[in-house]
Structure 1
Amino acid sequence: MSKTVENTIVNVALAVPLRRVFDYEVPNGYSTPEVGTRISVPFGKGNTTQVGVVVGAKNESEWESIKKIDSILDTFSTLDNAIMALCRWAASYYQHALGEVLLGALPTQLRKALPAQLPALDFWEATDEAFGLPDNALKRAPKQAEALQNLKRAPLRIGTEKEHNITLTSLKALVQKGLATRISHMPERVETVAQPAPYELTDEQSIALYSIQRQLSADQTQANSSTVTLLEGATGSGKTEIYLQAIETALKNDQQALVLIPEIGLSPQTLHRFQSRFTATIVSLHSGLNDRQRSENWLLASKGIADIVIGTRSAIFTPMPRLGLIVIDEEHDLSFKQQEGFRYNARDLAIVRAQQASIPVVLGSATPSLETLNNAILGRYQHLRLKARPGKAHTPQIQILDIRNQTLTAGLCEPALKEIEHTLQAGHQALVFLNRRGYAPTLMCHSCGWVSQCPNCDARFTLHQSPSHLRCHHCDTQRPLPRACPECQSTKLTHTGSGTEKAEEVLTSLFPEHPVHRIDRDSTSRKGSLDALLDQIHTGEPCILVGTQMLAKGHHFPNVTLVVVLDADGGLFSGDFRGPERMGQMLLQVAGRAGREQYPGKVLIQSHHSDHPLLHQLLFQGYPAFAQTLLNDRRLTGMPPYEYLAILRAECTYPDIAEQWLDQARRSAQALMPPSNQLQYLGPIPAMMERVKGRYRLLIQIKATQRKVLQQLLSALIPELEKHSRHKSLRWSIDVDPLEIP
């Protein structure tokens, strides 16, 4: 039976894994809340209170019994029309529950029944006395002078001092001198001012900038009239300077800009560069902020007060009423794809958002993803190239070192060690890249061959030395280091292979006069530790940097003139069809850290397969030729971007149960759309690592020649799968456009 009521019934999306919305009655005395408004409602048998988002209204419900809203939390739509449209599209395309998408778009504090109102914020502000000081009044205190110049340009929000490279000590000293004070007031828009560019653009940069500025100034009144631009530029070629000048144009047009970066670690340096350039309200959004900071920054953006938002992937869902430009830096990076829960790709959603708002989006990379590159080749995206580095910087010299039959010290061959020594003697810095954390990847018994194995995963324990323990890098299980072999009781335990800890230890012993800075997830786990390490490196003093891919992404090290890459061969023989692409991207990204200023750079790549044609093509013909070869292979094998993938995953503590459920799912899919030349099914098959955290993982790969066909299948299949009975320990998920085949 249906129910008709005098009061309005609203459709409410809740953060539950059900692909449906729920009907609630608006109580007497309440106005009908607008779409995008947060409300508090009772849910479930226990009537627990949940926060939901209104997605529609009507006068009749198909349900006989309808609960009433507890309260309306907002007097306005917290999620505006643009974000509502984006979330609806994302939920439909990625086949995810709309409620989880909408509530996930909100900062944590707003997922609770808290007001979506900006409180008065605390600021540091220059006093009247400060404006009367001569420019050289603080010449004996340069840090205080720099801090004061910042305060004269605009008040500084308390809590963001580090983002502006200002110390609390300097600010407190200014307060004691009567030159600064702390104030509290409601945030408001400030007049934006841009500092002059630090150098004159090259011809390539000028052409690229003009093209983007023309898009910003064009009449974007037609629906879906956004322009997607691929800005392909070698590392150090000045892509960031083009972003900055394009954003300056947007600000002059009274527009906001959204900049997405792949890693939290890049946020401080990116913020500092933007804040040094613009007197404007610039906020960051990433998981390194506490809930209060994230909520405040989100609200500053949503109310149009923040002019520039710099964030990681979830920032794509930030409401920005004056949004005029989106920039995706390092667009190829895997970090833009959410790998759990709601499996969206922020880069692709940025393109959708730009199309819905009819604004330009810039995708920047030295090594574009094959999907993006193919769209540029087909003319769907504008393709701008930067081939040279500006100023005195030059492309580094690249050399492959054949390490077959060579003696290795912590993975380093003798020629590489000699180059490191020469680099340090010249007063420069060297970077050693090893994408393997820990001391050694394997601990084994020399007597019986026992190998330390994680009890929960199909993976070996990694040996760590500081502190000494064994750890699984998949489930984080940890064990103390055994004194003897658990199989034969021998004390002849040995380790094989090298990780960043061992490389750090050996290089410290070989070069005791120079510091060795290790940068990986372990050494930077404490808050502020990465910033402290980067501050030491940026002094320019001769040192050695040892690290994982954290060092390869976007960092600018002016005094690094040598890069040594260890173990470069993994991607050549990967079981994942994307392995060679990722290998090429990683090698060129880390190689780009060398020679970014006036000093020439050198890159040494150690390999057991130094004559491999793909490696030679990448390093000596360049990424475009390398990528074209990979695209040709993808076309022949019918893989993305020429065909479209979805992965149906199931995991369970019992592998037979997961396999049986997937068998049933495949039969349901084939009943809806039988296999054909346009649609193929593979599986159930085990994941590459079948057991993780004690759970067995299996999958079905669905491949279609047309995106529309794949979406039609999934839209019909997912409701069927939700009806299937399943074991209580089984979990399943769908991944559309997967970037990893686990």
Structure 2
Amino acid sequence: MIYHHIALNIPISDGLLTYAHPEALPAGTRVVVPFRNRPQAGIVWANHVSPEIAAAKILNIQTAFSGEPALPEDWRKLLEFTARYYHYPLGQAVFTALPQGLKEAKAVETPEPPLFYALNGTGRAQTPPPARFHKKAALWQALQHSDGLTLPALKRVNSQAAKLLEEWTAAGWLETKQAALPVLRPSEKILNARQQAASEQIQTAFGRFKPFLLYGITGSGKTEVYFDAAAKVLASGKQVLFLLPEINLTPQLLKRVEARFADVPTAVLHSRTAAGRRTQDYLSAMLGQAKLIIGTRLSVFTPMKNLGLIVVDEEHDGSFKQDNELRYQARDLAVWRAKQAACPVVLGSATPSLGSWHKAQSGAYQLLELTERAHAGAKLPKVEILNVGRLKLDNGFSPQALDLLKKNFEKGGMSLVYLNRRGFAPALFCGDCGHTFGCPNCSAKMVFHQRARQLRCHHCDHREPVPFKCPSCGNQDLTAVGHGTQRVEETLRNFLPQAKTARVDRDSTAHKNDWADLYRRIAENDIDILVGTQMLAKGHDFARLNLVIVLNADGSLYSADFRAPERLFAELMQVSGRAGRAETAGGVLIQTQLPEHPVFAAVKAQDFRKFAENELAERQMFNMPPFGFQTAIRADAPNVAAAMDFLNRIKAELAPRLAGGVSLFGPAPMLMVRLAERERAQIFLESASRKDLHHVVSLWIRALQQNKDAEIRWSVDVDPQEM
């Protein structure tokens, strides 16, 4: 018998167990093995291993899916690095990276390579269909002027393409082949000088590792730079990985990608893709059949046979960081992957993360800049900061904001009212006794959703009907305090009843076709005012939109998180950038009670460089990231005291063994201490040396594993984004 290490989805340190098989199975082969008397899928990680336990105790591999393609070596090395860096069990990391079909203990169908249809010599000698049969003639013309097109591409020309292809194949006029190079449509956009220069710089790095930071103001045409570089890679037969922060937040971009590369075999991988489709697309990418892979953070783990370029759009976005289980940062793994594949990686943003900006300033990344809007007539919007500290507000609106909205509507403009809070109001409040309605599971107030007549927790999704009276004093006159998107929408409908107002948040875009309906209405000029949350802050390009009103801009500045100013600056710059992207000049009004805060001065000046310089100088003084490295060790328990005691006990145990150069802070309760009926505490490890920090984290993990407590759950977050 040959002994193999098998990666399993189990929480042991390396996630590898030993199993036997009569033959040596190649590393990367999917298998089924018995684990705790149940069949479980696994991945062969090594063969011909020396067992560390008695041979009699080693179970046999039950099934080997030898007919399926094995997961490649570079993919396995990526997962080994990920598990090692984020201090996560290898087997669980491996299964995080797999689509659902490959996690199951059954065989999957291997996708066939796409077929390309072309006219053969006999076909080209035939008389084309009469022009009066215009759709049939159009299909024939498409075939005549091409070396080969896929069925989906031909269906876009004629919906009856499958039937006609069958007829023409039977007549002996067509041939089918597997094309080595995808068909690329010429671009309809002409790059300006800055865009062209940026694309050419990226192209000089083809075939070698080079990280670029593409810093371009909102509306400067970063997407066209990505497309131009990607087209050159695809034309050479290599693959492109295009990462987006959230598919549902950037539907316009996805639509543009699909239009520009319509005839390129493409895989779109995100959480709303059906499980079967996602598995097939994953395998297509691995086999090199899919040339363009578009997806969210999990797509960074997609195996690719011939990777030539990685693009990370909106690289600053927090969505690239996974916040539970395997807490990886997809942007950082994309850079590691590009180095592994010896290809360029482009990180793009109008508001780069300070970590990426620091690397560009230090020369680790090459900085590419787009300083002008791509549309010749478009200018950056004029930003005004309004101090509302002493103003009487109408459901969050200042008189100035309402006046601007009214005037813009009368002129035929389109407005966006931005509020990063969905629901009708943040909280329900009893005016008699002061009772507020908190979530029973979390240390957060429940949000009042008026139309559903519900109170909802936006953290654990606990829901309950709105009470008829206060449970403390019986008062039936309960008041909604604060402003959510529903209340803002209602206020605008009352103020401007003739204006067509639409609310865009997770509640209003929960169904499959909601985004398509919204874009159709905007294209038909059927919306005058958009009310939205972060969903509308990035990735959207509405030509008629020329006014942005930001309500309650400074809420996040009360946070203890040192990244709060960076996040707020990015948020305000992104949402301001939605205005004035065509010929009409844009305006932005930001309401705040903290007008003297440096963030607002930087936003008004639209000066990212100055903001970044000041923030980085402050962080350097305190050795905060990117000048130092952090890891958070977290524990949760039925009560926070138990979590604190657990962390304190291990801290005391490890104190004599900890290396110098690593500082410990805490333990302390997390900012949001209670979540889903558990209470949370954390301790921060910080160091200027990444190596020293990881050594100490390893000591902590060993101690955590040895101090098992049935009531305590713990986790490790390397490079944490949550305080």
- TM-score (normalised: structure 2): 0.92
Aligned match for 2:550, one of 554, 557, 565: 565
The answer on whether the counterparts of 1:568 and 1:606 sit within 8 Å (CA) in structure 2 is: yes
Distance 1:284 1:410 in 2: 41
150 and 11 in structure 1: CA distance in 2 versus 1, 3 angstrom threshold: farther
The answer on whether the counterparts of 1:456 and 1:691 sit within 8 Å (CA) in structure 2 is: yes
Q: Is 1:259 aligned to 2:254, yes or no? A: no
1:49 paired residue number:
39
1:151 offset after TM fit, Å? Answer: 12
1:145 offset after TM fit, Å? Answer: 14
1:310 paired residue number:
294
Kindly provide the CA deviation profile for residues 116-167 of structure 1, in whole angstroms up to 9, marking residues without a partner as x. 433569999999999746599479xx9x999999999844559x99xxxx7x
Q: Is 1:345 aligned to 2:329, yes or no? A: yes
Kindly provide the CA deviation profile for residues 719-739 of structure 1, in whole angstroms up to 9, marking residues without a partner as x. 23212121x232110000001
214 and 580 in structure 1: CA distance in 2 versus 1, 3 angstrom threshold: same
1:564 offset after TM fit, Å? Answer: 0.9
2:48 paired residue number:
58
Aligned match for 1:377, one of 356, 361, 364: 361
395 and 111 in structure 1: CA distance in 2 versus 1, 3 angstrom threshold: same
465 and 187 in structure 1: CA distance in 2 versus 1, 3 angstrom threshold: farther
2:520 paired residue number:
535
Give the SS at the match of 1:68. Answer: coil
Give the SS at the match of 1:712. Answer: helix
The answer on whether the counterparts of 1:553 and 1:590 sit within 8 Å (CA) in structure 2 is: yes
1:3 paired residue number:
none
The answer on whether the counterparts of 2:250 and 2:539 sit within 8 Å (CA) in structure 1 is: no
AA of the residue aligned to 1:353? R
2:189 paired residue number:
199
Q: Is 1:24 aligned to 2:18, yes or no? A: yes
Distance 2:643 2:541 in 1: 47
Aligned match for 1:82, one of 37, 57, 74: 74
2:2 paired residue number:
8
The answer on whether the counterparts of 1:123 and 1:157 sit within 8 Å (CA) in structure 2 is: no
2:223 paired residue number:
240
1:571 offset after TM fit, Å? Answer: 3.3
- Report percent identity of matched pairs: 37
Give the SS at the match of 2:21. Answer: coil
The answer on whether the counterparts of 1:501 and 1:518 sit within 8 Å (CA) in structure 2 is: yes
Which shows bigger deviation, 260-269 or 190-199?
A: 190-199
Distance 1:232 1:535 in 2: 31
Which shows bigger deviation, 609-618 or 642-651?
A: 609-618
Q: Is 1:651 aligned to 2:636, yes or no? A: yes
Which shows bigger deviation, 603-612 or 295-304?
A: 603-612
266 and 464 in structure 1: CA distance in 2 versus 1, 3 angstrom threshold: closer
Distance 2:488 2:39 in 1: 53
359 and 465 in structure 1: CA distance in 2 versus 1, 3 angstrom threshold: same
Aligned CA-pair RMSD = 3.2
1:90 offset after TM fit, Å? Answer: 0.5
AA of the residue aligned to 1:73? F
1:618 offset after TM fit, Å? Answer: 3.2
182 and 740 in structure 1: CA distance in 2 versus 1, 3 angstrom threshold: farther
Which shows bigger deviation, 113-122 or 536-545?
A: 113-122
Kindly provide the CA deviation profile for residues 672-693 of structure 1, in whole angstroms up to 9, marking residues without a partner as x. 315x4x2111111101111111
Q: How does 1:140-179 map to 2 (within 5 A)?
A: 154-155=149-150, 157=152
Aligned match for 1:229, one of 201, 207, 212: 212
Distance 2:516 2:655 in 1: 53
Aligned match for 1:445, one of 422, 430, 443: 430
The answer on whether the counterparts of 1:24 and 1:69 sit within 8 Å (CA) in structure 2 is: no
Which shows bigger deviation, 56-65 or 487-496?
A: 56-65
AA of the residue aligned to 2:718? V
Distance 1:404 1:539 in 2: 39
2:408 paired residue number:
423
199 and 270 in structure 1: CA distance in 2 versus 1, 3 angstrom threshold: closer
Distance 1:138 1:409 in 2: 57
1:737 paired residue number:
719
147 and 104 in structure 1: CA distance in 2 versus 1, 3 angstrom threshold: farther
Give the SS at the match of 1:306. Answer: coil
1:59 offset after TM fit, Å? Answer: 4.5
1:110 paired residue number:
102
1:632 offset after TM fit, Å? Answer: 0.7
2:454 paired residue number:
469
Which shows bigger deviation, 638-647 or 266-275?
A: 266-275
Kindly provide the CA deviation profile for residues 508-531 of structure 1, in whole angstroms up to 9, marking residues without a partner as x. 222222321111111112222233
119 and 539 in structure 1: CA distance in 2 versus 1, 3 angstrom threshold: same
AA of the residue aligned to 1:74? S
The answer on whether the counterparts of 1:35 and 1:77 sit within 8 Å (CA) in structure 2 is: no
Distance 1:497 1:111 in 2: 45
Aligned match for 1:455, one of 412, 417, 440: 440
1:554 paired residue number:
539
Distance 1:546 1:134 in 2: 49
Which shows bigger deviation, 14-23 or 665-674?
A: 665-674
637 and 307 in structure 1: CA distance in 2 versus 1, 3 angstrom threshold: same
Which shows bigger deviation, 271-280 or 88-97?
A: 271-280
Q: Is 1:699 aligned to 2:682, yes or no? A: yes
Kindly provide the CA deviation profile for residues 228-259 of structure 1, in whole angstroms up to 9, marking residues without a partner as x. 00000011101000000000110122210000
- TM-score (normalised: structure 1): 0.89
1:593 offset after TM fit, Å? Answer: 0.8
Distance 2:246 2:593 in 1: 31
1:561 offset after TM fit, Å? Answer: 0.9
1:482 paired residue number:
467
The answer on whether the counterparts of 1:123 and 1:182 sit within 8 Å (CA) in structure 2 is: no
AA of the residue aligned to 1:260? L
How many correspondences in the alignment? Answer: 708
AA of the residue aligned to 1:579? A
AA of the residue aligned to 1:323? L
1:621 offset after TM fit, Å? Answer: 5.4
542 and 660 in structure 1: CA distance in 2 versus 1, 3 angstrom threshold: closer
Q: Is 1:664 aligned to 2:656, yes or no? A: no
Kindly provide the CA deviation profile for residues 303-356 of structure 1, in whole angstroms up to 9, marking residues without a partner as x. 111110000000011111111000000000000000000000000000111111
1:336 paired residue number:
320
1:194 offset after TM fit, Å? Answer: 2.8
AA of the residue aligned to 1:531? A
88 and 122 in structure 1: CA distance in 2 versus 1, 3 angstrom threshold: closer
